Amino acid sequence: METTIVAIGDIDDAIAAIPSGPFSDHVASVEAEILRDLLQDNTANFKSSMSSLLGISITFNSGDGD
């Protein structure tokens, strides 16, 4: 859980580092790239944490009938 807290803090810091104004003006900035990388690195953590916190059971089924 501590890794999650650190990651969330890093993401908050990266959001704060993006210059003010329309985000579309800063999409190619280094700050936006850092934020994107942090969010991508934590996607699996977010998905697994949210499903367990919300009590959602994830099952895998091919659904192709064979």
pTM reported for the whole predicted model: 0.66
* pLDDT(2) > 60: no
Query: What are the structural domain ranges in the chain?
Result: 2-50
Q: State the pLDDT at residue 50.
A: 80
Paired tokens of 65: 């009938």
At 12-65, the pLDDT tens digits run 999 999 999 998 998 999 999 999 999 998 888 877 788 888 888 878 777 676
Q: State the pLDDT at residue 44.
A: 80
Q: How far is CA 13 from CA 36, 46, 58, 66, in A?
A: 13, 17, 32, 49
